[in-house]
Amino acid sequence: MRTTLILRDATLERAATLTGIREKTALVQAGLEALIEKKARERLIALGGKMPKLRKIRRRRHM
């Protein structure tokens, strides 16, 4: 999908320096994927301890 973005040059340069990614499309893609992973992780953490009636899961023992 083609999209036009208006981004700060300093932000792009800093991201490129920190990641080593020089291509703008790849840099934006990597940033979006990182944001998605971060938000998904935050949602999972927020769910922690929210199911008090959930029964304990039986675990296999390692031999």
Kindly list the domain boundaries of the chain, sorted by start residue. Answer: 9-47
Quote the pLDDT of residue 16: 98
Q: Residue 63 to residues 13, 50, 59: CA-CA distances in angstroms?
A: 52, 32, 13
Quote the pLDDT of residue 63: 59
In a structure prediction context, what are the per-residue pLDDT tens digits for the chain, which is 63 residues long? Answer: 899 999 999 999 999 999 999 999 999 999 999 999 999 999 988 887 766 677 777 778 775
**8 A C-beta contact, residue 28 and residue 5:** yes
